[in-house]
Structure 1
């Protein structure tokens, strides 16, 4: 599954089908199991892992039955707000692949605060989550969602193309830039970089160069010296050295890599099954270390939240306890390659022996979330950052582009001074 919205034309019947799976009232008789519905956008190569969690939960007890449906993210984002406001939506949902979207549902009082926390089998053990994941979903000292997963980005590379070019996997940012340039030849691209409808790759490139998007006060730093300098080498590689096509969606970048027309791509664990199925001689390594000598990559999560209008808040929280529990999370990691969202699985020997899990898990300590708890973060991304990268790679000057983006970001975040 590639995160961020995947734009698609969705038939009216699909939307009607989603609404038809609204909040459940449970069984008609007191002895019937409680029926819970879940909506998610997990439709990619990692989908079987989520489906297995639901199947195992249903088999583990007889008092709750969960039905999960997966639809494109944009369909959920279009239908869920009104469905939850009117009580017609699911009991539980992953509202978007963007974790910051939870803030909007908190403002409209559409999501239920999570209260069943602890270390029992039926409570959510938040003490075992990575701290950043707890902070991301906490507003006014209340937890409003749990992580559905946790993923880091790694560097995928085509071993055959590397061997043919006499290139070894890069370990530093300078080696990454040199490899991207050398591997761009004969109709093939060195490093495909999606800039829209995708997990964000460009912030990772900025971090590698010592730059960032906003500071601790949520003020844009894109037009600062460090901000401009962190963008320039990568813009130059795209514009002048043609290491990647311009304006790629995530799906388009994946397709180029799957077709053997790109030597490298920065992506998450959900991409591995598709690349292997395409017959790529696949290598996966950590994102090369930054100019500072320190490792850094993007960490990504999708939220799971409970409708404020569910008739079964206790049972819904019990299901989330199972989803985020140790047994389910270990099985999910082994089947999908995702690192565990739980800190108590960090040293699990079986997970460490899985080559895909090992690479992505090794980067968890050095991962950063994208715009965590930045006011209007979703709009900062869609209305300022994505347009910035699109304009720079189409020839807009760094100074002009970053100045325009910074003004928009400060307007969105409420920053009034540097």
Structure 2
């Protein structure tokens, strides 16, 4: 039995209090005289023609603290070699701290010139005027949906304006342990693509004493598995206007019920601790794990581990899989001559990095640029190419300001309680939806006139 304490999330009151504190902190920077972000965006668009001004140093903020840091550092070093009058310096902070620090730094005029943000954070950054609208920038650069995909391009839009240029997409996939499967007499022909196939393989493994698909009670990876299953069942997380939770629909109950079924049938331990599913996978005790593309390089680094990856199985009525995307953004700058020069130089860097997303794919991502995905070089990246097959089925978190905090303090707790068998799926989801509706109502009041 795996210890359950590691899989416990903070209590509801802890997280609900944290949401309020975070929102208050972020709003402090909006009480002063607002900067005309559209005027700054128009200045930045001038960088589409290049930058010929005096030498500038750009600050680039990311949350790439793991195996994705060296590939990005190599790209920056190459950019710096190719540009005499622009030098880029990357600062790295863990994502949880990154989203706390960025708005405060921008409001104090000490923020970065370019940053990376997840698609589900763009709306919050936009309502706080932390980042600039990029419609004029992308128009000047000649970028559009045809350069990426309709889904990826749309993920950068909030309230009719563009705030991000997609750099990559990182969905879930189904990793499988070849050694565990071979030990149970199974080869590639048994790899599951559907609900029926998946359950059949897991039953075969169970009869040989193997718990083959460990279900995590925390966001990584159980929460993301739930969201994928919810969309497969035709459900939604929240209403499009951000007014109410929808994850407690019949689709949500069915999705969470499937996860509970894996536990009750003995295909998963009952109390899986944080990262225990992945540790068991690398120790040849777990056959399958729903995990993100970011694990490719981690699993490659495990000596003797024999593994592969598939698109997630179609458990529900349609193909769908959770995904997120890193977007390049331009934070608001001080209204000075130096700030305006850096805005133009920042667009040079943003455009260059977008054009070189194939090299970035080596960090364990699917490149956003269509040309990169369709290249022979990318097709040789076997695992990344398999993840890319799912792009038409990828569902992104909704573009709702503050929704990430709402989900974390409501839905994530409901999944945690149900997977730990402390509450029935419907009970847990209904309670979380009521709490989410209250938080969403507060968000609508706070952010209705923010732009």
| Alignment TM-score, normalising by the size of structure 2 | 0.76
| Alignment TM-score, normalising by the size of structure 1 | 0.81
| Paired residue secondary structure (1:150) | strand
Structure 1 Cα separation of the partners of residues 76 and 217 of structure 2? 33
Report the equivalent of 1:12: none
Map 1:240-279 → 2, pairs under 5 A: 241=266, 243-244=268-269, 246=271, 248-249=273-274, 251-279=275-303
Which of the residues 157, 163, 173 maps onto 1:154? 173
Which of the residues 99, 112, 116 maps onto 2:119? 99
Contact kept in structure 1, 2:59 and 2:90, CA below 8 Å: yes
Cα-Cα RMSD: 2.8
| Paired residue secondary structure (2:220) | coil
Which of the residues 304, 308, 332 maps onto 2:360? 332
Report the equivalent of 1:41: 63
Alpha carbons of structure 1 residues 181 and 208: separation in structure 2 relative to 1, 3 Å = farther
Map 1:174-323 → 2, pairs under 5 A: 174-184=196-206, 189-196=211-218, 198=220, 200-216=224-240, 218=242, 219-239=244-264, 241=266, 243-244=268-269, 246=271, 248-249=273-274, 251-279=275-303, 280-292=305-317, 294-309=318-333, 311=339, 312-323=342-353
Contact kept in structure 2, 1:173 and 1:290, CA below 8 Å: yes
Contact kept in structure 2, 1:124 and 1:320, CA below 8 Å: no
Structure 2 Cα separation of the partners of residues 140 and 208 of structure 1? 26
1:301 deviates by 0.9
| Paired residue secondary structure (1:201) | helix
Structure 2 Cα separation of the partners of residues 352 and 50 of structure 1? 21
Alpha carbons of structure 1 residues 343 and 68: separation in structure 2 relative to 1, 3 Å = same
Alpha carbons of structure 1 residues 273 and 366: separation in structure 2 relative to 1, 3 Å = same
Pairing 1:128–2:147 present: yes
Pairing 1:85–2:115 present: no
1:175 deviates by 1.9
Contact kept in structure 1, 2:324 and 2:396, CA below 8 Å: yes
| Paired residue secondary structure (2:410) | helix
Structure 2 Cα separation of the partners of residues 128 and 110 of structure 1? 26
Deviations 1:372-402 (A, max 9, x none): 2135321232011100101112220223112
Deviations 1:298-343 (A, max 9, x none): 2211233222025111111211111111xx112222x234222122
Report the equivalent of 1:110: 130
Map 1:352-367 → 2, pairs under 5 A: 352-367=379-394
Structure 1 Cα separation of the partners of residues 144 and 347 of structure 2? 11
Structure 2 Cα separation of the partners of residues 319 and 124 of structure 1? 15
Alpha carbons of structure 1 residues 69 and 399: separation in structure 2 relative to 1, 3 Å = same
Report the equivalent of 2:420: 394
1:40 deviates by 0.9
Contact kept in structure 2, 1:40 and 1:68, CA below 8 Å: yes
Contact kept in structure 2, 1:190 and 1:263, CA below 8 Å: yes
For structure 2, list consecutive stretches of 5 or more residues without a partner in the other structure.
1-9, 11-51, 445-451
Q: How many residues align?
A: 378
1:252 deviates by 4.0
Report the equivalent of 1:4: none
Contact kept in structure 2, 1:180 and 1:243, CA below 8 Å: no
Deviations 1:208-228 (A, max 9, x none): 444443354554333333331
Alpha carbons of structure 1 residues 103 and 212: separation in structure 2 relative to 1, 3 Å = closer
Map 1:7-22 → 2, pairs under 5 A: none
Query: Of the two structures, which has the highest relative contact order with CA contacts closer than 8 Å and spacing of 6 or more?
Result: 2
The structure in which a higher percent of residues are helix is: 2
1:82 deviates by 1.2
Report the equivalent of 1:10: none
Range with bigger deviation, 397-406 or 192-201:
192-201
Range with bigger deviation, 81-90 or 172-181:
172-181
